[in-house]
Amino acid sequence: MSGYNSTFQLTVDDMELIEEALRAHARELSMQKLVNPDANAERAKTNREIEENLRKGEALLGRLHDQKIFYRPKSDVYVSG
């Protein structure tokens, strides 16, 4: 039986591309929801599916963000911005 690959060799650019694609997909879903107001039962079902897909995408973006390692100097005082 085959298993899942648990190690990935992605570059920072690859991760940025994935994140941008997820954000573009979320924008597209949001536009569909705006154009598709709850007028009847079929549209309500579609909007629920859109909401579920938006939640899944946001959760994935959150997991990707949580895996990032942000640089902080060890010897100096960190000044943000």
Domain extent listing, the chain: 12-66
CB neighbourhood size of 20 (10 A): 10
Dist. CA 68–CA 61, nearest whole Å = 11
Report the predicted TM-score, pTM, of the whole model to 2 decimal places.
0.70
Give the pLDDT confidence score for residue 60 in this predicted structure: 94
CA atoms within 13 A on the CB side of 19: 15
pLDDT score for 3: 83
Identify the pLDDT of residue 38.
Answer: 55
HSE (side-chain half, CA atoms, 13 Å) at 30: 9
Residue type at 61 in one-letter notation: L
The 10s digit of each residue's pLDDT in 3-50 is 888 888 888 899 999 999 999 999 999 888 887 665 666 677 788 899
pLDDT for the residue 36: 60
